[in-house]
Structure 1
Amino acid sequence: MLKISIEQYNSNYKDSINQLLFVCYVDDNDSKMYFERGRQSPLNICTYIAKNNEEVIAAITAWKTTFHPYCTYFSILLHPLYRKAGIEKLLLKYVEAFNSNAIPLQTSIWETFYSLKDFYDKNSFSEIRRTYIASLNISSLVNVETQFIQKNCFPKTSIKSLRDILNNVDLKENLVPFVKKIYEITHEANPPGIHDLTKWEKLIFDEDTLLDGSYIAITDENKILGFALLHTGENPNVLEFGWRGAAESIDINLVILLTIYQTRYARKNGYKIIKGEIDTTDIYSLEMLKFFPFSPSPSLITYQKLK
């Protein structure tokens, strides 16, 4: 017979949490890191564990972020033997009781984690987006790139790298709010907080941004039409696609052109793979996903509970 008790986490339960992480996720390091990043965050709100007698069988951690401050992120661990005991709902109630401003709640899980998917679908959560973390092998794209450029004409348009505009104060001042606006459009369900343009400029020109592999498209009058960022990643042999976008009145194929500049840059510099983290709420990255032959990938589902 189950004897469930809920307690706040303390360091005495560290080993139990590590064991539970392994039981729940085995070699799924992304899900493990998601939970641990929240638990260890300086903006952590609370962490609870659920015990059956003295065995730790579940846990929940909740946290805030400074960049997206309007929702509460959370992650649940649940031992597979206890998935029909209603413990997920009980843990969520503790988070909501601990912080009356917790709503909206938000979490992300792999679509293959079907037990939690089923729970969220049946308990007032809404799917707000899916994210494909897919890889693009750029080795065999030369002919496709050439044919695209031949068939798509962008008159009176110049392509510049971020390094080209480092000392152009006017272009940089126009680029930063342009990128900010695109990001806000593609993140309406969980908008960023109010951050000054200096913060946005630091994000765009971050130390992991490849200035020679990130591009903007401009008119003869230096009006910005589109942009695409490229970054180094955790794997030194793999690059990562960053934010991208285009002005509303512009052919969205311009995003493909800028991405082709990036694949050519990567290939010229000896890279074979570029990873993409592509949200279904981002029409610009989706256009890239539609055009290029990315590897098959399961998606991350992001859920929100608004009330």
Structure 2
Amino acid sequence: MQIHRNVKQEDVGLFVEKVFGENEDLIRNFFASMRSDMNEGIYSVENVNRMVVAASMHCNIWHPYCVYVRLAFDFNCVDERAIQFMIEFLKDEVEKPLFFLIDNRFRGLGELLTRKDFRLIRKTEVININPKSFLSVKDDSDQEIITVGQILNDTVLLSSLIKICKKIYTETHVDNPVADLSSLSWKNVILDDLIDSSSYVVVNENNVIAFSLMYEGEENSWELGWVGVENSDEMTLLNLVLNKQLRDANEQNIKYIEKEVDSTCPYSLHIAKSLSYDVSETWYAYVQT
């Protein structure tokens, strides 16, 4: 069994397309890692002169303290020994901890990673929310609820929104820490593809105390992104803003709203408990200890 560094993208690409077959999302993710400007290396394991495992590593600007790994192998003919060989090799290749994000298609890999000193840090369910699942909330609240579109030119409130988004995202990603980036970087990522007319904030004087941000999705769908409250005792504020978003979605005949629900995010978990939905994907994040 041999391992190779600096493998040609073309050779690995053919292997990835072959073993992943109809799993187009996995092919897309692997190719994105190989072609990334922050790629850290492309590797393969050969057994009896044929490739059995491929790997691509890349870094991430937002989470710079780990190295992300994409693995590819034949799900129908898993060579566990070759996978272990690859993992042990990659652990010695870089100084930073390795990070894997896998789903149930990689059956057995989570158990293998656990045996190799990796820890499960997060479970993420991708859910499809039915826009007709209105929440039971009173509409007579005296809270000031406005759209993000209404605060885009208000530097104080927009700054408050950026601050609370950064705080909550940082607090819910402790095991894979966030980089110390500028407010402008946060602003850009928050507002990119934002539907500002259906993204809402709850305002108290000059502070945003709750928010729920909606983004463009695939055809006839939206994506519910950043959500949170300043005070965890006021989770019901999310119900108020989400109810408005569900009404907006119905008015525009949106078929479903996609939301990533992280096990480390109490705000997303609150939303999941409050609505009817279908789970489309489940992902597991492992980090080297």
Shorter-chain TM-score range: over 0.9
Out of 178, 181, 194, the position equivalent to 1:195 is 181
Contact 1:225–1:250 under 8 Å retained in 2: no
In 1, the alpha carbon distance for the partners of 2:145 and 2:279 equals 31
Out of 63, 75, 78, the position equivalent to 1:83 is 78
In 2, the alpha carbon distance for the partners of 1:62 and 1:227 equals 35
User: What residue in structure 2 maps to residue 116 of structure 1?
Assistant: 109
Alpha-carbon spacing, 1:294–1:64, altered in 2? closer, same or farther (3 Å) = same
1:188 alignment partner, SS class:
coil
In 2, the alpha carbon distance for the partners of 1:48 and 1:112 equals 21
Superposition pairs for residues 105-254 of structure 1, below 5 Å? 105-138=98-131, 140-141=132-133, 144-145=134-135, 147-149=136-138, 154-155=141-142, 157-206=143-192, 208-219=193-204, 221-233=205-217, 235-248=218-231, 250-254=233-237
User: What residue in structure 2 maps to residue 32 of structure 1?
Assistant: 27
Contact 2:52–2:79 under 8 Å retained in 1: no
1:10 alignment partner, SS class:
coil
2:138 alignment partner, SS class:
helix
1:149 alignment partner, SS class:
coil
In 2, the alpha carbon distance for the partners of 1:22 and 1:291 equals 41
In 1, the alpha carbon distance for the partners of 2:138 and 2:14 equals 51
Contact 1:230–1:240 under 8 Å retained in 2: yes
Deviations 1:88-145 (A, max 9, x none): 222123323332x23x21111113432212211322111101111111121x33xx43
Greater mean deviation of Cα atoms: 110-119 or 257-266: 110-119
TM (norm. structure 2) is 0.93
In 1, the alpha carbon distance for the partners of 2:18 and 2:33 equals 17
Equivalent AA in structure 2 for residue 268 of structure 1: E
Equivalent AA in structure 2 for residue 217 of structure 1: V
Equivalent AA in structure 1 for residue 14 of structure 2: N
Q: Give the CA RMSD over aligned residues.
A: 1.9
In 2, the alpha carbon distance for the partners of 1:287 and 1:123 equals 33
Deviations 1:162-211 (A, max 9, x none): 111122121112221111101111111112101011111111222x1001
Contact 1:256–1:287 under 8 Å retained in 2: no
Alpha-carbon spacing, 1:182–1:81, altered in 2? closer, same or farther (3 Å) = closer
Equivalent AA in structure 1 for residue 35 of structure 2: Q
User: What residue in structure 2 maps to residue 7 of structure 1?
Assistant: 4
**2:53 is equivalent to residue 19 of structure 1:** no
Unmatched segments (≥5 aa) in structure 2: none
Contact 2:12–2:54 under 8 Å retained in 1: no
TM (norm. structure 1) is 0.87
Equivalent AA in structure 2 for residue 289 of structure 1: A
In 2, the alpha carbon distance for the partners of 1:16 and 1:114 equals 22
Deviations 1:211-259 (A, max 9, x none): 101110012x2332101110002x1211100111001254101112211
In 2, the alpha carbon distance for the partners of 1:81 and 1:28 equals 13
Alpha-carbon spacing, 1:123–1:96, altered in 2? closer, same or farther (3 Å) = closer
In 1, the alpha carbon distance for the partners of 2:6 and 2:11 equals 12
Runs of 4+ in 1 over 4 A off after TM superposition: none
Equivalent AA in structure 2 for residue 196 of structure 1: S
User: What residue in structure 2 maps to residue 58 of structure 1?
Assistant: 53
Contact 1:57–1:82 under 8 Å retained in 2: no
In 1, the alpha carbon distance for the partners of 2:14 and 2:79 equals 22
Alpha-carbon spacing, 1:85–1:228, altered in 2? closer, same or farther (3 Å) = closer
User: What residue in structure 1 maps to residue 270 of structure 2?
Assistant: 287
Contact 1:31–1:109 under 8 Å retained in 2: no
Unmatched segments (≥5 aa) in structure 1: none
